[in-house]
A and B are shown apart, each in its own frame.
Chain A
Amino acid sequence: MNRICSLHDAVADLVGDGDTIAMEGFTHLIPHAAGHEIIRQGRRNLHLVRMTPDMIYDQLIGAGCATKLTFSWGGNPGVGSLQRFRDAVENQWPHPIEIEEHSHAGMATRYAAGAANLPFGILRGYVGTGLSEHTSTIAQIECPFTGESLTAVPALRPDVAIIHAQRADREGNVQMWGLTGVQKEAVLAAKRSIVTVEEIVDHIEPVPYAVVLPWWTVSAVCEVPDGAHPSFAMGYSVRDNAFYKAWDAVSKDRGSFTAWIEQHVLGTTNHEEFRRSVGLEVPANV
């Protein structure tokens, strides 16, 4: 497979049933188009990992792709509940889902440990909370130098990390800027990675505070303009807050959710068609 390829080919080649998948993006640069492609290709029994399983994982969970979720906050930011996630946990619909629950700081520490090829990471956290009682991947250790009690959490080593970035060059070097969340750590912690980008350019111009992932750290780069929608890519798009608000009504009901997925995701073959289907303008550079 060429490093630069279609999103269809990247998911077909790199994402398998039963894989542990980390799709990251902290509000900014969430790889929604890639999530849709996983639903389209009918992946099953996925272990989904994500700090904030918002709309993107609500869709994957409701579409029946996941049997386990590792996370720290599952809501629709600024709107409310994540309806499909709740239905899966409370009512086992469309099937039961196992959860492994952490805090943001713990998840960030776990990714950083994975990126550094360490078996676990250390933080001051969780002590006295119910999470320590219910989550088996939280343990106390003693500092060998001071004797202080600290919390250990195991490294996250996903099979595949999937992120969205602003751009890449033709070799596959990836550049992203603005809020870059935990994406660098997720990619470096994972065995394989897919990066969707707003555009592929001949030469990457430097941008202040940009994160660059060299081509040899990335398995596949796919040009998917507006592939983060309704999340956004700084410099290319703004967050579609109305879409997040509208999701609440679509996802509240199993029937309206299923109809939405069938019409707009399963009924389309790629992100360009998806955008037309939901009534969004297709970007000029498609």
Chain B
Amino acid sequence: MSDASYTTDELMIVNAARQLGALAAAGRPVCFVGIGLPSTAANLARRLYSPAPVLVYESGCIGSKPTRLPLSIGDGELGETADAVVSVPEIFAYWLQAGRIDVGFLGGAQLDKYANINSTVIGDYEHPSTRLPGAGGAPEIAASAGAVMVIMRQSKRAFVERCDFRSSVGYGDGPGDRERFGLQGGGPKWVITDLGVLEPDSVTCELTMVALHPGITREQACASTGWSLQFADDVRTTAPPSAEELDVLRILQAA
């Protein structure tokens, strides 16, 4: 992959944007977007695809159409270009909890094989070796969004057998846990990494490698995963980012 004319961030962003484009085409366009790679991917998808995804930010912006990438979820641009701006209690209660979000984005410091995410602490909660920012909006995005997309770099340190802390719930300890917890959303459906794409197995709920990026081997994927990684029967190779995808992305990032 060393001769690639794109970065691993660009690779993840483009693959996430493609998935959003497919969802929007299927009539599920409303994305609850966090800052960083998810926001970049959602904004790229808004420029590449028609119908375009609808961007909702937890700061209360519904239908934002920013012309440049925001640094924070509350940049002025997000409010000025929104169809509606609502309060924070409203965005979580009337919009997320009520089931009006089709896709939520999550990331974190650790992800386990059942797609639970840790963004709270590394180590013991009372005496952490690293204190992370915390859960923020993630627990209820994971609980209530129609589906969840995770974007994270794949490594043994981050892709762990079991999270040090469960900030947001994927499939808990396996099949049936989401139903037992009464979670109304569909849970994590796609994990986009720098190596490929993982999806939960339909029976075991365990994250399984369904696609590898061009030039990535199964051995690399296994070596970058902290659990015994399983592969789908027909592992795809993702299409490399196209010239158009990269052009639009780079123009967006330079704006």
Contacts and interface: CB of A to CB of B under 8 A. Distances in A.
Interface of A: 26-28, 51-52, 71-75, 77-79, 81-82, 85-86, 89-90, 101-105, 108-109, 111-112, 123-131, 134, 148-149, 178-182, 184-185, 209, 211, 232, 234, 238-239, 241, 244
A238 B76 contact: yes
A108 B93 contact: yes
B72 A239 contact: yes
A101 B72 contact: no
Given A27-B59, A130-B167, A182 B138 contact: no
Nearest to A75: B133
B129 interface: yes
A108 B58 CA distance: 11
A125 B140 contact: yes
Contact of A104 (B35, B75, B140): B140
Contact of B134 (A73, A79, A105, A244): A73
A127 B169 contact: yes
Contacts of B252: none
A77 to B, nearest CB: 4
Interface residues of B, number: 52
B97 A123 contact: yes
A71 B136 CA distance: 9
B71 interface: yes
A182 B87 contact: yes
Contacts of A232: 76
Nearest to B70: A78
Given A130-B120, A179-B79, 20 more contacts: A26-B74, A77-B71, A77-B74, A78-B71, A90-B130, A101-B135, A103-B138, A105-B96, A105-B139, A124-B182, A125-B140, A127-B143, A129-B169, A130-B167, A131-B120, A149-B182, A180-B60, A180-B85, A182-B87, A234-B79
Contacts of B169: 127-129
Contacts of B125: 130, 134
Interface in B7-52: 35-36
B181 interface: yes
Most buried by A among B71, B80, B120, B166: B71
B131 A90 contact: yes
Interface in B166-183: 166-169, 172, 177, 181-183
Those 5 A-B pairs whose CB atoms lie nearest each other, nearest first: A27-B74, A75-B133, A73-B136, A77-B72, A78-B71
Given A26-B60, A108-B88, A108-B89, A81 B135 contact: no
A125 B143 contact: yes
Contacts of A112: 89, 93
B140 A86 contact: no
B208 interface: no
B63 to A, nearest CB: 14
B215 interface: no
Contacts of B167: 129-131
Most buried by B among A51, A105, A134: A105
Contacts of B133: 73-75, 81-82
Contacts of B183: 127-128
B155 interface: no
Most buried by A among B59, B133, B169: B133
